[in-house]
Amino acid sequence: MQIISVVLVDDHKIIADGLEHLINESGTVRVAGKAFSVAGCMELLYHNLPDVLLLDISLPDGNGIDLCAKVKEKYPQIKILMLTSYGELSTITRAMEVGADGYVLKNAILEELLEGIHTVARGQRFLCEEATDTIQRKEANLLELTRRETELLQLIIEGYTLPELADKMCLGYNTIRSYRNSLNIKLNAHNTAQLVQNARSLNLC
């Protein structure tokens, strides 16, 4: 059996290292490289094209959905399997719309992840069990915001800056940035003006 080469992109090095160890132990899949940012991923792919790209959504210099579209445009032969903790319908749908070949949540068991890698490597679409359940259970256009995301969105609309938001919500700057990144992904926004406009068009504010 031919070994499937993968590149792993995750902003948490300890998670990436653990996944690398587990994947390499399978004997059928080998991690050919790791990156921890959008820039790092593009640099790695310039030198090393894998069969499958395992791609997280939350990255320090962008998000995995935009990166997925960029990689598909530049390297259409690479299969992309999203590997993330974002399980909302809107996020799954957007990832598949921009060209992802599969979607696996990080709480999936290793066997399901390996099945996903093999499936997309064969040119077939793969959704983990939980993602499949989410798609089947929810209406196509349903958008889910957490309580914190809803609170943050309202404060952004009121004009608070990120440092002010952190103080207002009694949360760390990095936590606020993570929530903001999640809002941008869910509302398909790339800046504050677009975020507010999309939120109003969806009657979220």
Per-residue model confidence as pLDDT tens digits over 112-146 = 999 999 999 999 999 999 998 887 765 434 567 88
Instruction: Give all domains of the chain, ordered by start, each with its CATH number.
Output: 4-136 (3.40.50.2300), 147-201 (1.10.10.10)
Instruction: Please give the single-letter amino acid code of residue 167.
Output: D
Summarised one tens digit per residue, pLDDT across range 169-191 is: 999 988 998 899 889 888 888 89
Q: What is the pLDDT of residues 37-62, one digit of tens each?
A: 999 999 999 999 999 999 999 999 99
